[in-house]
Amino acid sequence: MCARSAKGSAREHNFKTTIMFQFNLKTHRVDAAYQKPHFFILNRGNNSGKPLSEPCPNCFVCLCESEEDKNSLFWIVYGLWQGRGFEQYFTGSVITFVHLRDFQKAISFACGRFEGNQEELSKKITTIQTIQLNYENIQKQLALMQQLRRSVVQNLIK
């Protein structure tokens, strides 16, 4: 909810979402070094919202208080990205992007859904991690199968 002051110029944002994780989102600077546990979130293009372990030119950094918070927030952001939870905030006609305040709002809302239910969140994160590991293993197997197919075809041609 936005409220204007008596002069009408200042705006206050009152989000009534309780956040169980303490995090800070900032625009990533190339020369910055981060001491706290952190991960990066892509903020431009059709993959806006994708969590990253390594920085890229167009990303935000999510600074967390603990490694456990970082891990949980990473997978919450991953779930939002996979579930297209950030698409409603896309702005721009040629290259889409998401504003920092919109990321904060979406992440805070998602975290609020698990308020007081850490066990459910842990189960869902474990499930997502297992699925991701299986997906990566299958991708590796497919790459090896493609390489094997290529070498068999090359031996056939020789």
Q: What is the pLDDT of residues 59-114, one digit of tens each?
A: 999 999 889 889 989 999 999 999 888 989 898 888 889 999 999 898 888 888 87
Domain match, 102 and 25 both:
yes
pTM to 2 decimals? 0.75
Domain match, 93 and 126 both:
no
Asked if 15 and 101 count as a contact pair (C-beta separation under 8 A), the reply is no
Could you read off the pLDDT of 127-141 as tens digits, one per residue? Answer: 999 999 999 999 999
By residue range, what is the domain housing residue 123? 118-158
- The Cα 102–Cα 129 span in angstroms is 26
User: What pLDDT score does 109 carry?
Assistant: 87
DSSP states of 62-107: EEESSHHHHHHHHHHHHHHHHTTTTGGG-B-SSS-B--HHHHHHHH
Domain count, the chain: 2
Taking CA atoms, 137 is separated from 82, 95, 125, 140, 144, in Å, by 19, 32, 18, 5, 11
Domain match, 69 and 92 both:
yes
Domain match, 20 and 55 both:
yes
Domain match, 22 and 42 both:
yes
